[in-house]
Every structure is written in structure tokens, then in C-alpha cells.
Structure 1
Amino acid sequence: MKQDIKKIISKFNSQLNTTCAEISVSDLSVFFSVLISSFILKNRKTNIQLNQIHSDNILLTFKDELLIIEDRFPELIESFKETKKSINSKLLTPTISDLQLSFENVNEDIIDIISWSFQYLKKELTNKAFKKTGQNNNKIEDADLLLTTQFFTDSYMVKYLVDETVLSIKPQELEDIVIIDPASGGGNFLNYSFERLFYLFKSHKKDWTDNEIVDWLLNNAIVGYDLDSNLSKIASLSLFINACQYSIPDKSVSINIFGGKENDNLGFLNTKITSNSINRATINSKLKRINQDNLKKIFLTNPPFMGKRDMDVTLKNYLLNKYPESKGDLCVSFIQRIMQIMNHNDILSIVTQNNWMYLSSLKGFRELFLKENSLRVCVDLGTNAFEDINGEKTNIALCVIEKSNSSPTLFINLKHKKGNEKKLLVSSNNMPVEVVYTVNQNAFLDNQNFEFNYQLTDRFETIKKFNLYSDYGNPMQGTSTGNNKEFVKYAWEVNGNSDWKLVSKGGGFSKWVGLNYYKVLWGENAEFIKANKGSALRNINKIPSTELVYSDTGTLGLNVRILKNNQVFIASGPGIQVIKGDKFAHLAFLNSRVATFLLKLINPKFTISAGYISNIPVAKNILDSKYISNKSELCLNLKDDYLKNKLPNFEFNHIDYFTIKKLDNFINECILKDLENDFQRLLLEFKIEDRIRGEYKFGKEELAEMKRMVGESPFYNKKTKKELSIIELDSFLSNCIDINCLSRSKTINGFSIGSESILEELSYIYDLSPKVIYTHLVNNIKLLKSTQDKYYKDLLHKLVLFELGINHISDYSKKIINLNVLVQTLKHKYFFLKNLKDLNKTIALIVIKHHKTSFLNKPLVSIYNESVIVGQE
């Protein structure tokens, strides 16, 4: 039903501006709320057969339903009728028909449909508000604050938290409970809480009528507040409609969902909340009365998410002043505010970003939390848990918090499950034993930053005795240029200018060596950056003694590389100094699955900071191991050899193309060479990994835990028998490489770690040992037609660059040459091209399309009026 509403409103929105005068989202939200409410009320009547509803007969069709709503919300009905006049009947009639069809085929709970209609109506405005923040350092303020922080809660999250909390209420407590949502949005939590409470009263208050239960709950047990006064009205309507399924509430009964005042950006975070009045009560007076009556408060909420970076200065300064431990984080400030007004045995069930459990900046908040509160349950959902929102912003957890003495906490780790799996597991509340951890939260007081490292605490006690990586290496922050657009360019954009230095910028996933596309305007000692306002020079003096660099974006795990000679590092590709041990052994350890696994236990965050690498526990006999060092150096050399033939890497060098005798043979040799390189690297990484795992002495349960999160080397897979289609295998192989025939880095098999190995990916796809895959490809090399085509085009691209005098990506002279002349030169010099048809057309496409993609949409070569031009304007 929810998805039906989404499609109907999306279709309506797409046609609205072309058929009607401009109508505000506020008016439209009221219109759709009343319209959907009318359908719900009508739908609850049995044996009602509706004729086709259209724009002209809608008021008559829903006469009774509109009267019920009008008796309670006259202003909403007035707005509904006025907005209806403004909507073109040619748009409104098909929209009503779509809604009618959807309600005739209801196959799920419709309790939250009213609120979701608002969410979908404002989607375009929300997108516009987010776009503003990316322009000229704009901050989110005024109306945009509401648009960008209102994300409604999926039904499965609401039901889990309500059931986990409300269903534990004892019969004798029923009349002493108040459900409060201080960021009530469209009322999703309040609606489901009302439903659950109604059935509890029905079970335990046998002498109460339905009407008495409904009136009691609305008057005494359900309280909401939202900063958006318009949304609070929609939530009130939604709760009213939900109550009507049991009994139409008496008009004297209050619906206690309060709305904020205009120009108020603080809302519930204000210690003196301003709100409208409902039967002479405000949210402040209501909370005061609840405390005076010694009622048990159960907070159920999904507060707004926003970091201080995007806030206007007024809101930021207020939060930093009133809730200093929360460091300006809006969601964490909400938690802190609610904890301040909780009494003993009060409960907070909340959808929250999970960053408060581990971010170093929130150490003070965690210490405060651990001293005064008990985390009873935490379902750690991670990313992609919301149906309509994706990305790291939604790295979330469902938490039940009590104002009581510490008791064992039940942690449920679903971070590495797929979106549908998360929903199914939470909905069924039937969790596999391997994702469940029971930890006494007092254990978190023992670590330096009070981080909630529940996996480490519950199952990895043995590694506590190990030294931390900071005893062996010094991960550092890099310099912030203050303006990467001006100070960081691709190497070919600056063509040998000595003021620009090769730089480790990160920008992807690459182990051992790689991602060397960039140069930074550095001068002798970063003087250009130093002169730029907004820059921050960090660890400049340590660059000469730095040996390793890494990418600070951690979606695919830790990936570390050698810092090349005369290369510097900046913020997103920071450096590591080796203090003790062998640099190659350090490189191997940090690139291992074990290191990424331990890092993710410590820090589930998107960005990898130097401090988190420093806190990785390191077993003995790893960082000074000659065995590991030798294997690591071999890996590095293999990767370096691989990149020497891959554009547009700084390592790239042309080969002697005149030695090519037969085109097909040469292309097959290139494919074989890359596969051999891939196989040998993957095998070496397995041997390194096996040695490192052995040094940690992980048991079966610990190895299983690591496998669930980061997988394991495909060489542990001993399966050798399976029918393999070479055509299918060729297709997969071709898709595993980019336009430069470079293996794409990606997550493997859904695990929380990346890979650059084609054979590793194919091994997971076919569930076979990589040796079997490799052997099959080698034996059928002549049949890899799709892959051969990619290598053929890559060769032509390299030949074009070579003939244009581009010997290196950052060393060339500007020139102009006629396309026909270039093609004839290629045919004359390379006899294997002489008999190829349509070479002019092929070379033109190579320059126009292939080259642009290859050079990351910053082409070095272009065509204009049949002339090939080398150099950028």
C-alpha cells in the first residue's frame, strides 16, 4: 500500500505544475491526508461497493466521512475543499481512481499511509534543500531544517520498538503509562502504540467499553510534539482516524499532539518548549503534569539527523552550549535532552544514528550515558535499513534505553545483512544466534574512549592482551588544501609543471600501490596551500619519513599503499610512519582481512581516521616477520608490474609495439599475463592472511565471526568440480574490468571488504577454487571474445597516444594532427593494422569516447574538424 501511495503521488506531482496553478506542499499535504482518511473510514465499513469516484462526486461519495473529520478538524476540511478547487479535474480524477483501486486491493496495514503521503509530497522540496547545502557552504536553516530532517520511520522499525517496549507493560501499570514522541512526524509511533495499548486494555480491563478505552488513551496515554505545526495536525488526523476503527472519540477528548511555533528552530531541544495549546495545555505543561502525577514515561521516537557542519550558527551554538557532550550532533542532542527529563524506570526507545556508540568526539556523551542509563537492547542495522533512504547518513540502530541500573545489553548485529534481510529478521524478531551478543555495558567503561565495541567485548577477549598498532606505526592526518578543485588536478592536466607534485589523495580502493592519478599544487614545501585561506597544513615535516599511505574512505575496508619517491600526501590519502618492524610486513598486515575486520569492530564509520588504525590490536610476530615481508614485497612488485600497462596510472609505460607480430596472439598474451598476475597476487595474499590468522590464534567461533563480516580467501574453497560455460565466464570476466582493462575494485559477495581480484570475484560467483577458474580461462583463452574486444580497444588507445607523442600521462607536447594522417601513420607503422576495416571510424571513436572515459572525463586528446588535438585548453 505504501508503495502504491508513493507511485500515485509521484505521478500526481509530475503533472501538477503543468496542469494547475502553484499549490503549496502544506495545502497539498492536508488535501491528501483528508482524502486518504476518507478512503480509510469508508474502507472500514463492510459490504460497501463504491461506484467510480471522480472529481465531481468526491464530496458526495465521502459525505459521511468528511462530516466525521469536520466535526473534529473543521479547518482541515475547509483547506481540503479550497485546494480541491485549485486542482485540475483531469489530474484529480485519475489520481482518485488510482487511490480507489489501491484501497480495493489493500493487502497490508494502512495505519501509517496518511503520514507517508506527506513524506512523498515534499520529496522534491527536500531534494532542493539538500542541493543548497552543497553550494557556497550554505547551511540548513529555517524551513529547510524541517525538509531535510523529516524522515519517517519504516513500519518494521516502529513495530519492533513499540512491541519491545509497550508489550512489557504489566497489567497493573496500564493506567500509569504515558507514550511520548517528541519528534512525532506523521505519528507513526503514536499510531502503533495506540493500537497496542488498546489491545492491552481490552485484555486486562474487561469492564471497559471500547469507547472508554479510546477516550482514556487519547486523553491520558498518548502525547506527541513536532516542530512542524502543519505536520502535527496531520499526525493528529492520522491518530484520530486510527482511533475511529474502534470507536469515534468524543469531541471533548483531546488529541495531544502539539505543534511548534513559527520561527522556532529548537523545538523539543529548547528547555522551555514553545507549542500550540490543546484544551489550554501546552507540551510543557503536559510534561509537567505527567511528572507531578508520577506517571511512567515511555519515549518512542525517531529524532532528526544532522551534524553541526550543516547547521546554521544559532542552532549549532545552542546545542554546543546546552548539550556540550553531544558535540552539536542533532540526533545525539535529542537523546541527551530526553535523558535529562527521564525519571527512574522511564524508557526511551529510539531510532538513532549509531555513531554515538563509537565516535571519538562523543566520548563525553558515552561516559555520561554509561553512568546514568542502561542500554537494554540495541539492534545495529547499519546502512540501507530505511526503504526510502540510502547511504551512510542512515547508519542506524534501534535502541531501548532505561533510566535504571546497568543490566546485560542485548546487541543484535545486522549491519552486514541486506536490506530485505534486516527487515525480515527484525519483523520476526527471530535472530540467528551468531548475530546476538550479550554484554554488560560496564565493560565499556574499561576502554579509553568508552566505545561500545560489543563484538570485541563479547567474543574477542583474547586480543585485549595484544599491543595496539600505535606501538609500531604512526598513522597521521593529511593536509587539507581548503580547495581541492583548485589545488588538486589529474597529473595530465598540469603537464610536468614542477610546482605540482605527485600526491596520495585516496579517491578509491587500491592495495599495495595505485590511485596515483593526482598532483597537488605544492611548490617547495606546500607554500601555495599555506597561503590559501581555509587550508590546514598537517604533518608536512613527517612526509620524508613516511613510507605508507591509505585511503580514508572505508566502505571497502582498509587499503594501504607504498608512498612513492617525491610523493606527498593530503587529507583523503593520509600517511603512516613505520616506527618498529618492517615496512612491507606493515603493508601486508594493514591490507589483510584481519586488519579490516578488527578496524570495523572498532569503527563502523564510513571514514577511516588515523586514530582508529592506531587502535587495531596487533598480534606478535607479524610486523617483523620476514616471511610476511617477503610475500608482501612480491605482491607490491606484481601490482606495480600490472599498473605499468594500465592507463591512466602514473606508473604506466608504453611497451615496444613494433614487436607485435600477430594481433590475436598479442591480445591473448596480454590477457594471460594479467590473469597470471592476478592469480599470483591472490595466492600470496592468501599465504599472508593464513600466517596472520595463525598468529592471532582465533578459535572456530572467532573465525566464523570474521568470515561473516569480511569473508575469507577463496583459496580456502577446495571445490573443483562444476560445469563452466566459457561464454558466461567470458561475459563475467569482461564485466570485471574497466575500459582500461583494469580490474574494478568492489565489495565481494556482500562482505564488508573490497577486492581488486578478478579471480576472487569469479571464485565467489561460481563457488569454486580460484585455481580451477584460472586454469579454465587459460585453457580457453582463444574463446574469450568479449574480453579480447576490450583489450583490442585498449591497445588501439595506447597506440594513438604513443603516435601522438604522449610517452607519459604527465609528459607531452601540445600538437595538432589530421585524423586521416594519424590513421595512415598507424597503418604504415603497424602492419597488423593494415587490413582492419573502418579504422578511421574506429580511431575517431577511440579518441572521442574511449579516451574521455579512460582519462576520467578529463581528456588529454580531442577531435575538432577532422583534426586530433593534444593538450587541454
Structure 2
Amino acid sequence: MYKNLKNSVLESKKTLKEFIIKNIENFKKENLIIREFLAKDNNKEKFINEITFNILSKIISSKLLYKKGILKNAYDYNELKRYIPELFDELYNIKIEEKLLKKIHNNFSSVEDWDKDDILGWAYQYYNLDENIPKIHKQSQFYTPEWIIEYLVDNTLTKYYCEIYDDSEIANKYKIQYKKQEREIKLENIKIIDPACGSGHFLIKVYNRLKEFYEKQGYKKEEYIKFILEKNIYGIDIDEKGVEIAKTILKIKALEDGYIKPINFNIVSTNFDIVKEEDIEDIEFKEILKSIKNEISGYKELGSLITLSKENREKIIKKYEKYSLFTEKTVLEKHYAEKMKKYLIILSLNYDIVISNPPYADSHDYTPELRKLIRERYFDFRKNLYSCFIKRNYDFLRDGGLLGMITPQTFMFISSYEDLRKFIIKNMHIESLVHFGLGGVFEDALVDTAMYILRKEKGNKENKSLFIDLRDIDYNKKKEVLDNIIKKGKERKYIYYENQNEFKKIPGYPFVYWINEEVKKIFEYEKLINFADVRQGIATGDNKRFLRYHWEVPREEISFNHKKDGKKWVPYAKGGPYNKWYGNLWWVIAFDEENYKLLKKMGNHLPNRQYYFKSGITYSMTTSKGPTFRLLPENFLFDCKGSSIFTDNENFKFALLGFLNSKLAFYIYRFIAGSVDLEVGDLKNIPIAPGLYKNSKKEKMLIKAVKLIIAIKKQLIETSPLELHYIESPLHSIKEMQNFENKVIKYTKQKYLLELYITILEGFIEKTIFQIYGIKKKTIEEILNQEGIPEIWIGHIEDEISFDISILKNKYLNEFNIKEQDILMLQKEINRFLKTRKDKNKKIERKEFEEVYLSKNRKNNEGKIKRLSRVLNTNPLIVYNNINNQLILKEKEYIRELIFLAINHEYIKEKGNIEYIKEKINSLGITEEILKKYSKIKDLEEYISEKILLDQKKYFKKRVPYI
């Protein structure tokens, strides 16, 4: 942010700390207060840290005042003390060698930003970079850039001022849209608070704007500086150092403006000890303290999140108006007493403007004490500390007041913030919201953010809100684009106007300002909960005890009809990685009588038992690419991370599975869930179009396509020993007597053809879902722009697609009752649709194709055809036709895996008998020459005896198969 400042601060900090540590015993001898402080607190590290920063603050402040022409000598601390006495607490009165002082001053000689108002605040941020501070505080150390502060201040304070004074000149200067308000209030009576003020970044900008407004209204300088600092500006923070910096910066600004009188700031930290009743002489104040005792418990952790009852606020304000900040003396140390009094006053007032970048701390990072306090006082807003601040800031506001904040965007969509969204829509008007998405705001943190202006008002909800969508703007250009929108009236394509009441139409009230009327109508359909039961599965409470991969137990001990055979191990669906339609069926659970009794008492006590062993739809709720849905076969149990959907309508089950895996559904999940986790409660609210259950032609075609995909997927993965329905290795599946390389080529081409069929069918399903939901071309383009175009829609296909039925296994077609005429009918419909695709095909260079084909990539369940199509942005049929025999044989890592799978199959089947294994492997064409050419195996017998277990661990998720 500031050139060379970070390095200067960290280097000086290191030098000073070394000096203080070396001389601390001398300081104790020379300074009684230091000696008492260290004896009392027994906190040497705290003292070293505080005195180090105090010296740095003096150095930076003296340089600032020197550069501004206020100090005559940057090294004269006696002169500095006259201007900023707060920096010279007796605790920090130590002697520093002049040589050392000059060295540290010289560290800052390369800093060029002394004209910037907030340089001291940024110095504090950099000072904290290598501090071992608690995680909850570290997450809150995101200092707000100048351009964000400017937007929030101008759209709250500047707008508010223009509304009162009808100042079109100021409005035009700062590009503010406003309407004159019939609200009479003097400028000196406008109160602005930053309830998490830190080192005062917002308050500096507030000072600058107020100064301009006062001058425009004809106030005298000496008068308005006092008004700004003692009547307009308020702040609270739990960080003592930050608050002292804020006051120092504002004092420097006042000095720069020629104001040298003492200032009674209304900025306070909660770093004070509570006043004891027996030490209070004032009877009224003693009564107030007695009545607020419970209300202010936890004030050091909560800061401005403390709320006082209306009755107590009125008592405090009444006394404040009468005695002006309780000026009466008590036997308490005045320093702490005055802090506490000021804190209570600030909590009791109402404000015209609240402006803040509050702490971002998720509930799982709360300390035990903070978690307890937040649950007691902000239960509906407890998910994150910033959420609590939104509620508290609303309470700070007077009616008609404006709130400006920047926070994570999570409150806009995620289900756990639904109560907060309802609260905002009911009690405030969204004046504007700038949606940044990931990055582009904070220097040292990639946070998904939004900044917004809210007005405290009920009614007047017919006014539309302004939304600016910068999510897809490059990280470094968000500021530039926002400037073009606000200051130059350009880039209108990023602007949306929406009535906030429209959000009520969508389950969970997500702030999905960009969706059109066509998408909104989707949410008028009945919800999934009316057609199917969405159920959470088992949480064992001890997975290591109850769960195994199916290959870890004897096959004969796995139950495939538990009601009849009662075997110990039962197939278990447990989510897993991104994978559509079928698969990830790796697990078994101990479910014999003994373990059943244990599970009833553990975890979540076996919920929803009436659905056990039924066929349904299971899904992975958390993957980096979102949820994926798969068929749950009969005779399975299901996990809480593989929660499932059940319906008595068999046809609807398959139609629903097609919809749930569609681009349209994924688009909807973003509104309903708002994160990678799609909870059971979110799924229940998915809108179901009548075309999914009304026995229409489109529904029938959808069901046939989904069933055919599942049949093909089962055939495709039957050669994977990770899957429960595994048959044999890929090379074993080619029965014809051929040499090794021909077997590899034949198997691979057949595999890629099956992948191609799935990709074609998925594209057809996408088209059918859009038709069933009545989505028109323009909206489809909007959805696919966000979710990605189906691969078979890329470019166009010259020839008609023809399914080779001879390579499809009858056992899987029969399992799903798929007839040849069904496949031919689907083929006809698919070709009819694909003829409408007229986009040009991208020309593929052979070299580029080979590079992408042979490039290493993380394994996933999408298949190579789909991946190549997406990466090369070309039709998957073109991809398939470009894969030749020679290219397949260049895939050394892939062929090594095929060899391993063949050896592994025989190793398990023959229970490690080397002679039998060698004989069977040789019959597959895996000779010594082949091993030398395609694998790293030098000696097959040695590999089987000594090394196969290492490869098994790698392939089988660190759990070797049972033999």
C-alpha cells in the first residue's frame, strides 16, 4: 500500500525490541512505574510490545508533524510532547540512545507517503504482521483501502448531509444521488460512529468531509474543528493501541488545521477495569452501574456489541446531559473511570451514520467465552462476528440513519444467514450494494466481499435498490470499473436495480439481484419436499470403529440383502468426490446386531431408519465443484455426508436425478445454498416443474436418457476395483486373444466411446430440463455463461450420432429396462436437437491436441473425453475422432495403471500365489518385454513379493485389499 513503509516498520520493530530486551533491567531500576507494572502484571512480553510500538508511534508522528511544518525538529520529543502529550505516558518514559534513535529515523528515510492521512494506521497493520495474535483477531486485521472508505463515507455521511442541506454542488462533486429530506438537524448535531474503529481509517475521511461541509455552511474553523472531534465523531474498539492511533491521527489533523487546544475525544477502547460500586461517590452513577452490571458483562470481548436497555440508556444520557461525561471525581484511578463513563455514553446514544469494516470471525474461531456471549445476545446472528455487527449497527442508528459496511459476501446467500437477510429486508432499505466477490479489495487477504449502504426505515420498500456486480472483473481492475460506474456513468452492464422484497420469493431470501423474471417464476413451482423425502444419513460418532472400505473385508461377509442374510458388513454410501449418476460406492458399515445396538446409542442415533436399504438418490454435499447426485441402489445404508432422497414414484426418481445434475439445478443451488455445502434443508426447497412428474413425452425421454447414462456408467466403472460392483480389470475385460498393445487400444477406445455416449446424453438432458422448465434462449445463455456450456453443445456435428448398441452390456440395460427401440428413439431426438447447433467448430492443431491429451491432470470422474472437450473448447465427438492408436500407447502412466490393475486382480484372486499370478498375467500378453517397455517393474516375481503392497496402498486410499 505505502512504498517501503512495511519493511521500515518491521526492521525498526526488530531493532527496538532487541534494544528493550537488552536494557529492561536498567529500565526497571530507573523507572518506578515500569518496575511496578512488570511486578503487577508479570507480563514482560506485553511491556516490550507496547513500549516498542509507542516509540515507533513517536517517531512516525514526529516525522509527520515535521513534514507538515508543525515541528521544527523531527528529533525534538519535548516539542512533540507539547502537541501530542498522550504519547508520553510515564510508563513509556525510557532513555533511548541518540545513535539508536537516529538509526531508526533513518529506517524511514525511504518512505515517501508522509502526506497520507492514514500512514500511522497502516504502520500499525504492518507492525502486527509478524505478531503471534489470536486467530480471531488476525482475521479482523483487514485494513480498508482508501477507495472503499471513500465510497462508504460519501454514500452515508455525504449523502445524509446533502439530504438535509439540499446541497447539489457537493452531491455533484462526489457523484451522490439524493432526495431532499424534511429533516431539520444542525451539522454539529450529526453523530457518526465507527463501532470497530481500529486505528481510525474511516474517521479520518469523515473528518475531511465534515470539515468541507462546515466551511460550506459558513462555520468558523476554531469552532468546527471542536465540533467535529467532540460532537460528530465517535468510535469504539477492543484494541487499545488502535484507538490511541486513531486519536493521534485526528489530533495531528487538528494541529495541521491550526487547532492546538485540548480535545475531549469520544473514541474509547474497552481496555479498562470495571468500576466497583464501593468506590463510587456519586449516588446516581452508583445506581446506574448497579442496574447495568449484567448488561455490560463481557465488555472487553464484545466492545461495541454490548447493548443496554432503553431504560438504562435514558438514565445515562440524562446524567450525561446534566453533568457532561460525569465530571465528578471518584476515588478510582481517573484514567479508567473516565474511560468507562465515556464507553457507556457512546453505547447509549443514537447515531445518524454508522460506518464500519467490522471483524470477520467465523463462529468456530470464537473463544469459549465469546461463543457463550454471542449465543446469549446475538443468537440469530451468531454465525460470524460481522453478522452480529450488522444487527448492532442497526440498533445504533436513529430512524432514517444510514449504515455503510464492507464484509464478506456470505450473508447474501448462505442458508445459515437467512435470519440476517430477513432482518435486513424487514427493517432496512438496501440503498446500494457493490458485490466484489473474490479479491480486489484487501492487500493481504483474498476475501469474498461486498460493501453496502442500508437505511434504517420501515415502509418505503417499493424503492428499488442499486446493485453493482463486480465478481467477474479481474482482481486488479475492480476499483477502476467502480470508478467508471460511479464517477463517469460508464459500464452500465454491471448495474442492476431490484426491489428487495423480490428476494422473499426465493427460499432462504438470498440476495440474488441479477436473476430475471423468468428465473424468479421457477420458484413459484412446488418444492421438492412435496414430492420426496430428503433425509440425513448416519453419523456413526466413530468412523474408524464402524466403517471400512469394501475391499478391506472378505467379500463373503458383505451383505447384499441384509433382511435375509444378516451379515455383519452392509454397503454404505458416504458422499465422496465429484461424481455424477453412479459410483463412489466404496464403503461398508458394521451393522450386525451387536454394532446396531451400539450405533443406536452413538453419533446421531441412526436417524430415518424407515429409509434404510431403500433405493433412492444420494449425493456428495461438499466438493470443490459443487454437489453431485447418484443413484442409491437397494440394500444400502447412507451417511450424513451422503444424505439421500426417497420417493415412491420410481419414474420421478430418475427424472429428478436428471434435473438435480443439470446446469439449471446448479444455477439454482447458488441461490438456495450459497456455498459448496448443499444441506438437506436446502434441497427440500428445490422447485420442481410439473414436467418432471406429469408423464409427458419430455419426461419419458428424460427418464430413458438418465437410465441409459446410469447403465453406461455402471459398465464403465465395473473395471474399477474401488467400486462395489467390480468385475475384473480392464485388460481382463477384453476376452479376445490379442497382444497386449491391441488389448490396451481396444479397451481404451471402448472406454472413451462410453464416455462420449455419457457426454452426449448429458447434453440432451440439459436441453430437456431447460424445455421442461420453460427457459428461453437468452436466459439459457445467462445460465450457461455462469455454469459452463454442455460439451456436446460446443460447435456442431456434421454426421448424425449413432449409438453402437453392440458394446453396451445387456445386463445393465436389462437392469434398467432399456430396450433397443428406446436407444434408437433417444438417438433420433438427440440428432434432431444437435442439428439446431450451428456454432463453428474450433480448428484443433495436432500438436496442441497431443499436448493436452498427454498432459498430467488430477484424476476425476468426468472422463478424458469431457475434459479434453472443455479444455480445447471443441465438440467431444471431434475429440474422440482425434484419438488414434499411437496416441493411446504414448500414455505411459495410464498403461502402467492398467498393468497394475491386472496384476492386482490376479494377486487378490490367487491370494498372492506367485506362480499362478505370473501364468495368468502372461496370458494377458504382459510379458517381460512389455513390463520393461511400459512399466517400472524390472522383475515380476520381485514386484509381487516386495513392492505390490506399496502400489496397493497408493491406489486403494492407503488401505490394502483383503486376500
**Which of 194, 199, 202 pairs up with 1:181?**
194
Match of 1:257 in 2: 267
Match of 2:762 in 1: 685
Structure 2 residue 86 is matched with structure 1 residue 68: no
Alignment deviations for residues 784-809 of structure 1 (CA, whole Å, 9 cap, x no partner): 67x60221221232244234x235xx
Native 8 Å contact 2:612 2:635 kept in 1: no
Distance 1:16 1:671 in 2: 67
**Which of 815, 840, 844 pairs up with 2:938?**
840
1:608 deviation in Å? 0.5
Match of 2:330 in 1: none
Structure 2 residue 304 is matched with structure 1 residue 268: yes
Native 8 Å contact 1:29 1:121 kept in 2: no
Match of 1:806, SS state, is helix
Alignment deviations for residues 250-283 of structure 1 (CA, whole Å, 9 cap, x no partner): 2512443210135722221222599966699613
Match of 2:611 in 1: 542
Match of 2:708 in 1: 634
**Which of 848, 851, 859 pairs up with 1:731?**
851
Match of 2:149 in 1: 158
Native 8 Å contact 2:352 2:402 kept in 1: yes
1:98 deviation in Å? 7.1
Alignment deviations for residues 64-115 of structure 1 (CA, whole Å, 9 cap, x no partner): 5895378425546888886989xx989x97x9877544x24x6x99555544
Summarize the Cα distance change of 1:560–1:312 in structure 2 as closer, same or farther, 3 Å threshold. same
* Identity %, equivalent residues: 22
Q: Which runs of 5+ in 2 are unaligned?
A: 23-43, 166-185, 273-297, 317-334, 559-567, 796-838
Distance 2:444 2:591 in 1: 40
Match of 2:161 in 1: 170
Match of 1:689, SS state, is helix
Structure 2 residue 423 is matched with structure 1 residue 411: no
Native 8 Å contact 1:326 1:362 kept in 2: yes
Alignment deviations for residues 482-534 of structure 1 (CA, whole Å, 9 cap, x no partner): 34455444444556565443322223211112323333444459626635555
Comparing 337-346 with 439-448, greater Cα deviation is found at 439-448
Distance 1:17 1:840 in 2: 61
1:560 deviation in Å? 0.3
Summarize the Cα distance change of 1:30–1:672 in structure 2 as closer, same or farther, 3 Å threshold. farther
Match of 1:379, SS state, is strand
Alignment deviations for residues 538-592 of structure 1 (CA, whole Å, 9 cap, x no partner): 2122123341101112652331001134322111110011244432221111000
Match of 2:835 in 1: none
1:385 deviation in Å? 6.0
Native 8 Å contact 1:31 1:79 kept in 2: no
Native 8 Å contact 1:468 1:615 kept in 2: yes
State how 1:205-284 maps to structure 2 within 5 Å: 205=217, 208-209=220-221, 214-240=225-251, 246-247=256-257, 249-261=259-271, 264-272=300-308, 282-284=342-344
Native 8 Å contact 1:181 1:223 kept in 2: yes
Native 8 Å contact 1:793 1:846 kept in 2: no
Comparing 22-31 with 559-568, greater Cα deviation is found at 22-31
Structure 2 residue 395 is matched with structure 1 residue 340: yes
Distance 1:29 1:459 in 2: 60
State how 1:480-629 maps to structure 2 within 5 Å: 480-494=539-553, 498=558, 499-523=568-592, 527=596, 530=599, 533-553=602-622, 555-580=624-649, 581-623=651-693, 624=695, 625-629=699-703
Q: TM-score, normalised by structure 2?
A: 0.71
Distance 2:615 2:919 in 1: 49
Match of 1:582, SS state, is helix
Distance 2:730 2:93 in 1: 76
Structure 2 residue 199 is matched with structure 1 residue 194: no
Native 8 Å contact 1:489 1:519 kept in 2: yes
Structure 2 residue 729 is matched with structure 1 residue 654: yes
Letter in structure 2 aligned against 1:472: F
Q: Alpha carbon RMSD of aligned pairs, Å?
A: 4.6
**Which of 782, 795, 802 pairs up with 2:886?**
782
Summarize the Cα distance change of 1:75–1:616 in structure 2 as closer, same or farther, 3 Å threshold. same
Aligned residue pairs total 796
Distance 1:850 1:9 in 2: 52
1:180 deviation in Å? 0.9
Distance 2:205 2:54 in 1: 18
Q: TM-score, normalised by structure 1?
A: 0.78
Alignment deviations for residues 36-87 of structure 1 (CA, whole Å, 9 cap, x no partner): 7845864797799xxxxxxxxxx999415895378425546888886989xx
**Which of 786, 807, 819 pairs up with 1:709?**
786
Match of 1:840, SS state, is coil
Match of 2:450 in 1: 397
Native 8 Å contact 1:348 1:400 kept in 2: yes
Distance 1:823 1:68 in 2: 88
Native 8 Å contact 2:615 2:633 kept in 1: no
Native 8 Å contact 2:193 2:353 kept in 1: yes
1:597 deviation in Å? 0.7
Match of 2:749, SS state, is helix
Match of 2:182 in 1: none
Alignment deviations for residues 286-306 of structure 1 (CA, whole Å, 9 cap, x no partner): 454x55xxxx52111122334
1:721 deviation in Å? 5.2
Match of 1:466 in 2: 525
Native 8 Å contact 1:827 1:834 kept in 2: no
Distance 1:338 1:3 in 2: 35
Match of 1:232, SS state, is helix
Comparing 30-39 with 184-193, greater Cα deviation is found at 30-39
Distance 1:730 1:551 in 2: 33
Distance 1:30 1:231 in 2: 14
Summarize the Cα distance change of 1:560–1:227 in structure 2 as closer, same or farther, 3 Å threshold. same
Summarize the Cα distance change of 1:98–1:523 in structure 2 as closer, same or farther, 3 Å threshold. farther
Letter in structure 2 aligned against 1:374: H
Alignment deviations for residues 16-36 of structure 1 (CA, whole Å, 9 cap, x no partner): 999996984785477468647
Match of 2:32 in 1: none
Match of 1:860, SS state, is coil
Distance 2:913 2:10 in 1: 51
Distance 1:8 1:760 in 2: 52
Distance 1:301 1:853 in 2: 50
Structure 2 residue 899 is matched with structure 1 residue 796: yes
Alignment deviations for residues 202-223 of structure 1 (CA, whole Å, 9 cap, x no partner): 5x256655x7655543333322
Summarize the Cα distance change of 1:850–1:60 in structure 2 as closer, same or farther, 3 Å threshold. farther
Structure label with greater radius of gyration? 2
1:711 deviation in Å? 2.5
Native 8 Å contact 1:374 1:403 kept in 2: yes
Match of 2:177 in 1: none
Letter in structure 2 aligned against 1:553: T
Native 8 Å contact 1:146 1:228 kept in 2: no
Match of 1:645 in 2: 719
Native 8 Å contact 1:439 1:457 kept in 2: no
Native 8 Å contact 2:140 2:361 kept in 1: yes
1:182 deviation in Å? 0.7
